[in-house]
Amino acid sequence: MEIYNGKLCITGTELIKCEDNTEGVLTLPNYKYLKSNCKLKVLRRASYGTPALIEFDSMPDKYKQEWIRLHGDPRKLPEIDPWLRSIKPDSAAYTFYSRYRLPDGRPLPPENIQQYCDDAAVLNALHERITSLQRKRSSIGLTTTGIWPLAAELVFKARLQWKHKLPENELRLRDKYKRYHEEGYLALVSNKFGNSNSRKVTSEMERLILSLYCRPEKPYVATVHLDYLQFLAGNIEVVDFKTGEIFSPADFINDDGTPITVSEGTIANIVNDPRNKPVVGKLRNGAMTYNNEHRPHHHRHSPVFALSKISMDDRDLPRKLHDGSRVKAYYAYDVASGAIVGAAYSRKKNRSLFVDCMRDMLRRLDGMGMGLPLEVEVEHHLVNEFADDLMKAGVVFPFVRWCNPGNSQEKRAEHFNKEKKYGYEKRYQEGIGRWYAKREANRTRSEKVFDENNDTYREKTYSYEQLVAEDLQTVELYNSDKRKGRDVSRIDYLRANVNPGVLTTIDRPLLARYIGERTDCSVVRNQYVKVQYGKYGLPSPEMVDRLEPGNYAVQAFWMPGTTIGEVYLYQDDTFICTARPMAEYNEATAEQTDDDRRIYTEQAKYVSQYDARVRQRAAELARVVVFDKKKTTETLSQASEEVVIKDFVEQPLEMDAEYYRQLAKNNL
């Protein structure tokens, strides 16, 4: 039996039955079972040379009775020494040491706090005993000689119940006692904290070991240990190729001249030290693993209103095509509702995939009577070429967020992709998962083909059309299902909680300029343009006034679909107008319908407006004839008859041919 922290304990070696302990009361499997189910309270774990301590009172009753039957009742112990009863815990010492901070800001380790508290409790009791002895001896005229040997004996006895580390040597104990009563609790704190002089593993050795461990070939701890020993023996050289520094074995020797050797366990502790582990993770596993496992991250929550922010991301659909490739998909998620508001598919990951997703998002939102989102979250890949136009903040979207490359956890779409894959694709499609997945349910089936290449696997493949159709169906199921913690579906939440700042209409001309198709054409007869073999008329003749002088060339943009509903005309960066399809009417009066007559009226109105504009502009001009004053006078004096100039519009000027011949000669 043993007293530990004031509690009666049994060591694990005495409690467990084995070949050399037939008086134990528990088998090893039974001990592990009770321990795992918290039916045994282990106050101290076992370590090399130190057995585990189990609190006697925490044992089930039947095992207590069996122990008492074999060894007697441990509570019926001999009377404890009065000296031991006089030692009391010091709460003020615990408060001091728990709040104490080392020079580098760290607190004291728990085991040191417990030791210093026990040291203080024993020294306090020792002070009372020494003071009492000195008072008694002085009262009867005796000297205090021989008190410190007695004090050393008392300190030794105190080890039965208190885990102190006070010296048992008389001189050292007297020095410790004197310092304690002069400096207080601080005198018990070791000066070794923060001092690296006593460390076997110095900072330079730690640097060398970490450098060996972080090599590109990612060696094992055992390999690093062997390389370090080879380095100490002079069999290999270690060179820093960045600085040209050659590590010298002479820097890693003790004061007595022997090399400083370490075990594999020490190297493992160096590698796994909290100060070193992030550095090791960054150098051995790359930036992405370092970012996901070690680097601190931001903590955020989703927006409340729909269309406050959308997040876009591409992914490969998990199942393969017949040629072994995968379908590339691009999704746009509304972050607040989690609904997919845009989806596009392609065999190649290129700019067209992103543009098609934007077009699909426009079609879906326009169909629900909604405008464009206030913020869009994208990555640099694929979208970077739109950074100066479409994806420039304030051009189409008020806010644009560019996610940092390699930081997948930052982008909300990455989380939604995982939720869609394992929550819905896994439920409604077969073959979803990865062949190397840890969880059996997420592991896909494949059969290895033992051929000359030895790297071929047989697995089910699909057509492009089937994969796209099934994914679109999954998108609809995903949108129509409830998100965790909500009572409405994703799409219903989107419809009911649109941000009040979102416009109800979409600026189609602006959006079509960036994600639409383009045709270079010219305005024909001040009336229409030709796009994809179709005619699209200007809304009014006044639109021609917006063109540059002498330049009828324009760029026509439109959103692709089964038919072109309207085109948006630009001249360079200036929006001109929206042109709609020109309808034709039946010229035979007998066959005309109401629709034909309506079309005829619209075209007649356009022509009438155009004629009226021309007449108005012509009426504003002055009716003038320009003559050279000098030459005209000479010509008229030679003429044999008087020339009468009349109104050149209503009555044209009449002169004979001889007059014009003479006028031409004079102008040579």
Is 90 exceeded by the pLDDT of residue 311?
Answer: yes
Nearest to 211, CA basis, from 236, 172, 184, 240: 240
pLDDT band, residue 257 (cuts 50/70/90)? confident
Is 80 exceeded by the pLDDT of residue 332?
Answer: yes
pLDDT confidence of residue 6:
60
Token duo for residue 456: 């071929």
Alpha helices in 200-262 (DSSP H): 203-213, 221-233
pLDDT confidence of residue 587:
92
DSSP states of 29-87: HHHHHHHHTTSS-EEE--BTTB--EEEGGGS-HHHHHHHHHHH--TTSPPPPPHHHHT-
pLDDT confidence of residue 473:
95
Q: Where are the beta strands (DSSP E) in 321-438?
A: 326-334, 340-346, 375-378, 399-402
Considering the domain architecture, whether residues 479 and 549 belong to the same structural domain is answered as no
pLDDT confidence of residue 535:
95
Mean pLDDT confidence for 519-536? 94
pLDDT confidence of residue 557:
94
Nearest to 157, CA basis, from 81, 90, 89: 81
pLDDT confidence of residue 645:
44
Name the least confident of 51-55, 133-137, 324-328, 471-475: 133-137
Is residue 263 included in any domain, yes or no? yes
Token duo for residue 559: 């959103």
Max avg pLDDT among 147-161, 372-386, 515-529, 549-563: 515-529
CA atoms in the 13 A half-sphere facing the CB of 128: 12
pLDDT confidence of residue 77:
47
Instruction: Please give the Cα distance from 283 to 33 (Å, whole number).
Output: 42
The model's pLDDT over 208-240, given as tens digits with 9 standing for 90+, comes to 999 999 999 999 999 999 999 999 988 998 988
Considering the domain architecture, whether residues 350 and 491 belong to the same structural domain is answered as yes
Q: Which residue has the higher pLDDT, 651 or 5?
A: 5
Considering the domain architecture, whether residues 233 and 139 belong to the same structural domain is answered as no
CATH number, domain with residue 418: 3.30.420.10
pLDDT confidence of residue 395:
82
Is residue 335 included in any domain, yes or no? yes
Token duo for residue 218: 């990612």
pLDDT confidence of residue 592:
92
Please name every residue paired with 340 in a beta bridge, in sequence order, or none if there are none: 333
Is 60 exceeded by the pLDDT of residue 14?
Answer: yes
The separation between the first and the last C-alpha atoms of the chain, rounded to the nearest angstrom, is 139
Is residue 508 included in any domain, yes or no? no
Q: To which residue do tokens 């000195």 refer?
A: 134
State which of 77, 102, 135 marks the end of a domain.
77
Mean pLDDT confidence for 459-482? 93
- The 3-state DSSP class for residue 524 equals strand
Max avg pLDDT among 80-94, 379-393, 476-490, 625-639: 476-490
Token duo for residue 154: 């008392």
Considering the domain architecture, whether residues 487 and 368 belong to the same structural domain is answered as yes
- The proportion of the chain whose per-residue pLDDT surpasses 90, expressed as a percent, equals 35
Is 90 exceeded by the pLDDT of residue 36?
Answer: no
Q: Which residue has the higher pLDDT, 146 or 132?
A: 132
Is 50 exceeded by the pLDDT of residue 664?
Answer: yes
The Cα diameter of the chain in Å comes to: 172
Is 70 exceeded by the pLDDT of residue 502?
Answer: yes
State which of 30, 59, 77 marks the end of a domain.
77
pLDDT confidence of residue 657:
57
Instruction: Please give the Cα distance from 239 to 181 (Å, whole number).
Output: 54
Instruction: Please give the Cα distance from 28 to 18 (Å, whole number).
Output: 8
Considering the domain architecture, whether residues 462 and 368 belong to the same structural domain is answered as yes
Nearest to 312, CA basis, from 255, 355, 279, 275: 355
pLDDT confidence of residue 521:
95
Considering the domain architecture, whether residues 316 and 369 belong to the same structural domain is answered as yes
Is residue 235 included in any domain, yes or no? yes
- The proportion of the chain whose per-residue pLDDT surpasses 70, expressed as a percent, equals 87
Name the least confident of 87-91, 123-127, 291-295: 291-295
> Please, what is the Cα angle at 190 between 188 and 192, to 5 degrees?
175
Is 90 exceeded by the pLDDT of residue 527?
Answer: yes
Considering the domain architecture, whether residues 445 and 564 belong to the same structural domain is answered as no
DSSP states of 270-287: HHT-TTTHHHHHHHHHHH
pLDDT confidence of residue 329:
96
Nearest to 221, CA basis, from 260, 265, 259, 285: 265
Max avg pLDDT among 36-50, 333-347, 443-457, 640-654: 333-347
Q: Are 12 and 51 in contact (CB under 8 A)?
A: yes
Is residue 325 included in any domain, yes or no? yes
Considering the domain architecture, whether residues 156 and 232 belong to the same structural domain is answered as no
Instruction: Please give the Cα distance from 476 to 132 (Å, whole number).
Output: 89
- C-beta pairs of 568-576 under 8 Å, 24+ apart in sequence: 568/508, 568/509, 568/512, 568/513, 568/516, 569/529, 570/513, 571/546, 571/547, 574/546, 575/509, 575/510, 576/543, 576/546, 576/547
Considering the domain architecture, whether residues 322 and 422 belong to the same structural domain is answered as yes
Instruction: Please give the Cα distance from 564 to 560 (Å, whole number).
Output: 7
Is 50 exceeded by the pLDDT of residue 529?
Answer: yes
Considering the domain architecture, whether residues 438 and 527 belong to the same structural domain is answered as no
Considering the domain architecture, whether residues 277 and 347 belong to the same structural domain is answered as no
DSSP code of residue 548:
P
Nearest to 482, CA basis, from 472, 494, 468, 473: 494
The model's pLDDT over 601-626, given as tens digits with 9 standing for 90+, comes to 999 999 999 999 999 988 888 888 88
pLDDT band, residue 638 (cuts 50/70/90)? low
Instruction: Please give the Cα distance from 228 to 252 (Å, whole number).
Output: 10
Is 70 exceeded by the pLDDT of residue 654?
Answer: no
Considering the domain architecture, whether residues 423 and 542 belong to the same structural domain is answered as no
pLDDT confidence of residue 1:
66
pLDDT confidence of residue 345:
96
Q: What is the DSSP pairing of strand 574-581 with strand 534-537?
A: antiparallel
pLDDT confidence of residue 3:
66
DSSP code of residue 94:
H
CATH number, domain with residue 23: 1.10.10
Is 60 exceeded by the pLDDT of residue 660?
Answer: no
Residues near 333 by beta carbon (within 8 Å), at least 6 away in sequence: 310, 311, 312, 313, 339, 340, 341, 412, 413, 416
Is residue 603 included in any domain, yes or no? yes
Q: In what order do the strands lie in the sheet with 399-402?
A: 340-346, 326-334, 310-320, 375-378, 399-402
Residues near 317 by beta carbon (within 8 Å), at least 6 away in sequence: 326, 327, 328, 329, 467, 471
Token duo for residue 407: 């930081």
Is 90 exceeded by the pLDDT of residue 484?
Answer: no
Is residue 567 included in any domain, yes or no? yes
- Tally of domains in the chain: 7
Is residue 193 included in any domain, yes or no? no
Phi, psi of 123 (to 5 degrees): -65, -35
Is 70 exceeded by the pLDDT of residue 30?
Answer: yes
State which of 265, 293, 321 marks the end of a domain.
293
Owning domain of residue 637: 629-666
pLDDT confidence of residue 321:
93
The model's pLDDT over 74-120, given as tens digits with 9 standing for 90+, comes to 766 444 467 777 888 888 999 999 988 887 678 888 888 999 999 99
